[in-house]
Structure 1
Amino acid sequence: MISVLILTLNEEVNIAECLDSVGWADDVLVLDSGSEDRTVEIAEAEGARVMHRPFDNFASQRNYGLQEGGLEYDWVLHLDADERVTPELRSELEREARRDARGAYRVPSKLMFQGRWLKHAGMYPTYQIRFGRCDALTFTQVGHGQRGDLSAEQVGTLDEPLLHYAFSKGIADWVQRHNRYSTDEAVHALAAEGKSTDWTALVWGDSQARRRALKDLSYRLPCRPLLRFFYVYLWRMGFLDGRPGFDYAVLLSFYEYLIGLKRRERTRGEESQGQEGGKEMSL
């Protein structure tokens, strides 16, 4: 009834548990981006099909899997290797697939860190479109992540969450990944600066449209790293998550700081190129 598409790159730490959590599915495709560890070996031993494609971005990877992966069923669950499907989520997925009422569904996610669920600092529930019909759902890359390419009325929202073990490969891996992500976010932020605010989405849009508009608007705020820390730790009551909540709030503020630094770096680079171009024309 449901196919599963999992993106991987050097995920030997995660892939077995991820596959175990979808052991009920008889069509599981692992789309690997060139792993140099035992990811592919483990996936094949677990009975998954494996395909290979060099990574460019998340949206292109998922779209490639949908179009070229030979998926058996109309409904597809999209996962990263550090995510787990609970029995309760499986039941809800199967129920909605039978109903076939929408083209796709947002799935909430519980962020796990230092052995606990970050109920507050993890800003639960955060949603991503991860479950949809093959003929309805495609993805568009925005910043470092992807968005479902469907109108709001075609998208439903599930109640049961994925479990997201974002730190399963350690803090160093998280920092390394978010160093890359911050570059993509800096590019997106610079592009957003030239656009007018979508006030209609802020007032009348659904929760996802409001979140997107607020994110684009927030790029214009000063002191974003400090604001992000206070938002996560105080406004969202991350302090109730104990030390893990504090640590995560600090990491997010560091991530915002990197985005800001890279935005300024790119702006200075563009300005210097413009000045050099002007000098050449004056010669």
Structure 2
Amino acid sequence: MAENTAVPKITALAISYNEALNVERYIERLKFADEIIFVDSESTDNTQTLAAQMGAKVLTRPFTNFSEQRNFAIAQATHDWILFFDLDEIITPELEEEIKATVKNPGDKNAFFVKRTFHFMGKRIRFGGWQNDKAIRLFNKNHGAYNGNLVHEEVKADGKVGILKNRLNHYSYKSFDNYNDKLNLYSKLQALNLYQKKVRPNVYHFFIRPLYRFLWQYFFRLGVLDGKEGFILAYVHSFSVFKRYLQLWMMYRKID
């Protein structure tokens, strides 16, 4: 009997909103995929036009939450193997080759973590917990889907999960206002998630949780060694914890 040597095909997925600055770079680095699909949340820039011009299939869907947006995208994929990178993540040539080899021979694994090198304000961040950052970015859609979290969603995969050796570069920072806007959105969605679980904020949430987040990131995870960038990251992330519970408090009081 002849051996089946066909290479499994790959669908690359992206969710986008006003990502025109990243579209060309993103698609260029994913040209090895057999299909590229954008699910766009009604961008007001030319994200959709650029993606379509470069050969991606573009679908428009109003944003509800991150898990629903990503799971909708998965349902549109033609092929079983999914690459789901963010627009601010850059795939290196080495990672590309490892992905292609892994899809060809995944062994007994249905999903794979990719380690991320985080860059903030023009600097590679080496501490503060970012040194261990990873996420599932390659998986078989028949064995994985996003877990339903409104924010900080993760792929829940059945079976064994591997980890790729090569890292991607994560450039989440465009400007301070843009980064702060992202944290505001995350805080609102986290507050909504807590509201749905009927969690009520108290003094502990307003004072202890933000302080703990700062101390954990800046001192215990050695963010102090990243200089002023490490301090800024610890500060804005601890403040976003405070805003999460402030927004939750406002939800209970019906305050916009």
Common fold by TM > 0.5: yes
Alignment partner for residue 211 of structure 2, among 211, 226, 238? Answer: 226
Alignment partner for residue 2 of structure 1, among 1, 10, 27? Answer: 10
Q: How does 1:270-281 map to 2 (within 5 A)?
A: none
Code of the aligned partner of 2:225 = L
Q: Specify the SS of the correspondent of 1:146.
A: coil
1:17-63 superposed Cα distances (whole Å, 9 cap, x missing partner): 11122232232111111111111121122222212211112222222
Is 1:248 the counterpart of 2:248? The answer is no
Counterpart-to-counterpart distance in 1, 2:98 and 2:41: 30
Is 1:150 the counterpart of 2:157? The answer is yes
Alignment partner for residue 97 of structure 1, among 90, 103, 113? Answer: 103
Unpaired runs of at least 5, structure 2: 1-8
Alignment partner for residue 89 of structure 2, among 83, 100, 114? Answer: 83
Name the residue aligned to 1:110: 117
Counterpart-to-counterpart distance in 2, 1:244 and 1:132: 33
Q: Specify the SS of the correspondent of 1:145.
A: coil
TM-score, normalised to structure 2, is: 0.85
Structure in which a larger fraction of residues adopt helix: 1
Identity of matched residues, %: 29
Q: Are 1:5 and 1:77, in contact at CA under 8 Å, matched by a contact in 2?
A: yes
Q: Are 2:82 and 2:140, in contact at CA under 8 Å, matched by a contact in 1?
A: yes
Counterpart-to-counterpart distance in 2, 1:3 and 1:50: 13
Unpaired runs of at least 5, structure 1: 195-218, 271-283
Task: Report the alpha carbon displacement of residue 220 of structure 1 after superposing the two structures with TM.
Answer: 6.7
Alignment partner for residue 167 of structure 2, among 161, 172, 175? Answer: 161
Kindly name which structure, 1 or 2, has the bigger radius of gyration based on alpha carbons. 1
Counterpart-to-counterpart distance in 2, 1:98 and 1:193: 46
Task: Report the alpha carbon displacement of residue 173 of structure 1 after superposing the two structures with TM.
Answer: 1.7
Please identify runs of 4+ aligned residues in structure 1 that moved more than 4 A: 219-222
Alignment partner for residue 183 of structure 2, among 178, 184, 190? Answer: 178
The alignment's C-alpha RMSD in Å is 2.4
Code of the aligned partner of 1:250 = Y
Q: Are 1:123 and 1:232, in contact at CA under 8 Å, matched by a contact in 2?
A: no
Counterpart-to-counterpart distance in 1, 2:102 and 2:131: 22
Is 1:262 the counterpart of 2:254? The answer is no
Name the residue aligned to 1:74: 80
Q: How many residues align?
A: 242
Q: Specify the SS of the correspondent of 1:24.
A: coil
Q: Are 2:29 and 2:91, in contact at CA under 8 Å, matched by a contact in 1?
A: yes
